[in-house]
C-alpha cells in the first residue's frame, strides 16, 4: 500500500464528506464525542455497504488500511 502524497488532508476530507453522506442518507447521527477512528470505521463500512467503494479483504482490514481506502475515495471526489 503506497502512501498518497497528501493522505492526511484527504482523510480529513473523507471524514467530512462521509459524515455528510451518512447524515443526509439518514442512517447515522455523529456525535461530537465520536472519535476519528470510530467515524473512519463507520464511514468505511457504510460506503462498502452502499457499494461505493470496494471492500478490503477480511484479513487486511485495519485502521490504517481503512484510512487509506477513504483517502483514495476522497481524492476522486470533486
Three-state DSSP state, 47: helix
pLDDT (tens digit per residue) in 17-51: 999 999 999 999 999 999 999 999 999 999 999 99
pLDDT recorded at residue 78: 79
4 or 28: which leads in pLDDT: 28
Cβ of 20: how many Cβ atoms within 10 Å?
11
Q: What is the largest CA-CA distance in the chain?
A: 34
- The DSSP letter of residue 60 is G
* For residue 58, pLDDT beyond 80: yes
Q: 6-16 pLDDT, tens per residue?
A: 999 999 999 99
Per-residue pLDDT, averaged over 57-63, amounts to: 95
Place of cell 471526489: 77
Q: What is the set of domains in the chain, with CATH numbers?
A: 7-75 (1.20.120.1930)
Amino acid at each position: 500500500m503506497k502512501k498518497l502524497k497528501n493522505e492526511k488532508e484527504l482523510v480529513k476530507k473523507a471524514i467530512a464528506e462521509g459524515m455528510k453522506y451518512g447524515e443526509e442518507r439518514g442512517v447515522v447521527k455523529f456525535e461530537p464525542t465520536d472519535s476519528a477512528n470510530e467515524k473512519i470505521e463507520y464511514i468505511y463500512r457504510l460506503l462498502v455497504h452502499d457499494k461505493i467503494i470496494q471492500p478490503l479483504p477480511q484479513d487486511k482490514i485495519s485502521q490504517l488500511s481503512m484510512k487509506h481506502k477513504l483517502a483514495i475515495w476522497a481524492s476522486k471526489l470533486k
